[in-house]
Structure 1
Amino acid sequence: MASQGEGRARPRESASLLLRLLDPASAGLLHALLESHGHLCLFTVLDARKGLLRLRYSKDQEAEVRRVLALCALDVALLIRPWPFAD
């Protein structure tokens, strides 16, 4: 049985984005959509009522993460901002 994450190299450097869900109740849908793309990234809920999330990913996969977020934005209304703090 393969372990989770097998087949991907351990990230050398992580990066983050700040996401704001226009409908905070859509966090579950966003989670499912992100999972459907192979656990490319993960998010932490910063403020559930405001729909604020921190999205973390491997810095070398930023282009792929942004492509996936663009696809997710077809189903989940969200704003993507740079992470305002040092990682």
Structure 2
Amino acid sequence: MKSSSRRRPRKRVCPPAPEWSARTYVRIAPADIGLFRFLLEGHDNLGIFTVVDKFKGILLMRYSPHLGREMKAFIRQAATEMELEVLPRM
């Protein structure tokens, strides 16, 4: 009998747990906060956000530092759906 030539899947090495979360502040229209939450939830486990000022639409997004590239891509994509401004660090 011939043995199966199937390869074993590679083990995925998870990066070590970060000591701190990466943070990004964004400003959107207050009416778009619900849409922003919906879009972020569609990108499973990418990050979470807190509403810092609901009247000005300022959000604090927290995410793992190793997901920085994915978060920037999400922000670019969300900017096509709504007016979005990335704020300097506070």
Instruction: Return the TM-score normalized by structure 1.
Output: 0.78
- Quote the sequence identity (%): 34
Q: Could you say which residue in structure 2 is the equivalent of 1:15? A: 22
Aligned ranges 1:11-50 → 2 under 5 Å: 11-12=17-18, 13-21=20-28, 23-50=29-56
1:31-81 C-alpha deviation (Å, 9 max, x unpaired): 000110113011100110100110100011101100011111111211012
Mapped to 2, the partners of 1:48 and 1:10 lie a distance apart of: 34
Match of 2:63 among 57, 65, 69: 57
Secondary structure in structure 2 of the residue aligned to 1:33: helix
Q: Unaligned regions of 5+ residues in structure 1, if any?
A: 1-7
Secondary structure in structure 2 of the residue aligned to 1:75: coil
RMSD after superposition: 1.7
Equivalenced residues, count: 76
- Larger % of strand: which? 1
Pick the structure with greater CA Rg. 2
- Which of 1 and 2 has higher RCO (CA within 8 Å, sep 6+)? 1
